[in-house]
Amino acid sequence: MLSTFFAVLRRDLLLAWRSRSDVLVTLAFFVIVVCLFPFGVGAEPNQLRAIAPGVLWVAALLACLLSLHRLFAQDYADGTLEQLLLSSEPAVLWVLAKVLAFWLTTGLPVVAVAPGLALLLDLEQGALPVLALSLALGTPILALLGAVGAALTLGLRGGGMLLALLILPLFVPVLIFGAGAVEAEASGTGALAHLLLLGGGLAGALALAPLACAAALRISTD
Amino acid sequence: MADGLNLEKNHMNVKPRGPSLFRFAAPQMFYPLAGRLAPWFAAAALVLTAIGMWLSFFVAPTDATQGEVYRVIFIHVPAAWMSMFIYLVMAFWAAVGLVMNTRLSFVMSQALAPTGAMFCFVALWTGALWGKPTWGAYWVWDARLTSQLLLLFLYFGFIALTRAIEDPRRADRAGAIIALVGAVNVPIIYFSVKWWNTLHQGASVSLTKAPSMAATMLAGMLVMAFAAWAYTLAVTLWRVRPMILERERHTEWVGEVLDRERGRG
């Protein structure tokens, strides 16, 4: 059973590697969105420091949202998805593998780049590990929830906008605790509570989202 | 396809043993029932609204601290209750539809959504009108306001998704999934927003410490809440009827119904 998981994971990672530019585009989008904020709100360091956690988190969220269409669209177009659904392997397993591959190629680079960008916004250096940790715990939740939305909007006209409308309200708790963790660390109250809540959210999403996503894929390819 | 239709027809001809409410799960049975019930609920809504308005504008005393402004709660609170309750009912019908595979359940949940979104908007709008004189701002990022706003977005997402998919079968099921995902998330959203607010700043405005309410105020609010219930039922039943006709337009009984209604008109 695990061999299915690893086979799908390896395949998706290989495909992502072959089209590396997609991954880089996501990353570039993340960097550019963050860099836009100082132009919008002014380059006053105190202000930038105050909004840094929120800006970084919102940008990570948008980067995830905009790359979500890649998760199933290609497999849907060339029929791979249908074959996977027809196969006797449990759908939850390969859905999880696909989401993991998606996170490794879009979430993980964001996690890696975010601390560097935080320096541009003059975030306190002590809060950088918490920023990376909160993103590492939070972006998988975004990917898991987003996968459900991506599965539901598969092949629809105006799917991108619809996906945003469906999924963004569900992202709010992650945003609150993710940005809250960094802010709490920077203000000295400690980020443990936020990080534990994010971890709990991740455990819940890991348990429930693949089921919903598999059901949604069945409906969309029916 | 022909087989499927025949099967359906056979299924319809099976007479229920004894009076069972489940027979109304068949669109054919529910269509006339909805038509018969809707006017009664509409009448009840009118009467209750009239009584509720009279209670709230003429009987209920002026609030000691807020003055006359508080009277907006007679619309605001029932609307907020309904908006949350309708989402739960919607998710309930979605779950029933997914589990029991009954077409009518999906129709019900889709017919409820616009009313729920409307009440959600009314609650936000009246809340803003009340907030300006009382808090000095149309909007504050209070936990309740924020989660109400997110609920409105959840309604929009549900409506947009079910409208965007042309195949009704897929639209039903996809809508049901997003309604259920939303229902799981509503408490998470509510508590996260609540903690977010209290973590950021001391609660500037507390709605939970409501002063004890005069009996007539409570009565007015409850009557208005019942009026909102009756209104929701009436509007939903009326919305369900054309949806049923549209989906069942290939069946014989819809042809008969249309012929009859054309003959009358």
Q: What is the pTM of this model?
A: 0.86
* Binary contact (A165, B160; C-beta < 8 A): yes
Q: Which residues of A touch B182 (CB under 8 A)?
A: 169-170
Give the ipTM of the model, two decimals please: 0.87
**CA A64 to centroid of chain Cα atoms:** 4
Do residues B121 and B87 make contact, with C-beta atoms less than 8 angstroms apart?
Answer: no
> What is the count of structural domains for chain A?
1
Closest C-alpha to B178, from B243, B83, B91: B91
> What is the count of structural domains for chain B?
1
Q: Is residue B18 part of a domain?
A: no
Q: Which residues of B touch A169 (CB under 8 A)?
A: 150, 153-154, 157, 182, 185, 189
Would an 8 Å CB–CB cutoff place A215 in contact with chain B? Answer: yes
Q: Is residue B23 part of a domain?
A: no
DSSP state of B66: T
Which residue's entry shows tokens 């589990």? Answer: B99
Q: Which domain holds residue B146?
A: 37-204+215-243
pLDDT, tens digit, 9 for 90 and up, residues B104-144? 999 999 999 999 999 999 999 998 888 888 888 888 887 78
Distance CA B183, CA B185 (A): 5
| B67 beta partners | B63
pLDDT at B19: 62
Which residue's entry shows tokens 């009467």? Answer: B47
Number of alpha carbons in the 13 Å side-chain half-sphere of residue A163:
30
* Binary contact (B169, A162; C-beta < 8 A): no
Q: Is residue B32 part of a domain?
A: no
Q: Is residue B255 part of a domain?
A: no
Q: Is residue B179 part of a domain?
A: yes
Q: Is residue B2 part of a domain?
A: no
* Binary contact (B174, A219; C-beta < 8 A): yes
Token readout for A88 is: 């006797």
pLDDT, tens digit, 9 for 90 and up, residues B240-255? 999 998 888 888 888 8
Which residues 177-196 in chain B show a CB within 8 A of chain A?
Answer: 177-178, 180-182, 184-185, 188-189, 192-193, 195-196
- In the predicted model, residues of chain A with pLDDT beneath 70 are none
Distance CA B222, CA B81 (A): 11
Q: What is the mean pLDDT of residues B203-223?
A: 67
Token readout for B2 is: 């022909």
pLDDT, tens digit, 9 for 90 and up, residues A150-209? 999 988 887 788 999 999 999 999 999 999 899 888 888 888 889 999 999 999 999 999
Do residues A183 and A158 make contact, with C-beta atoms less than 8 angstroms apart?
Answer: no
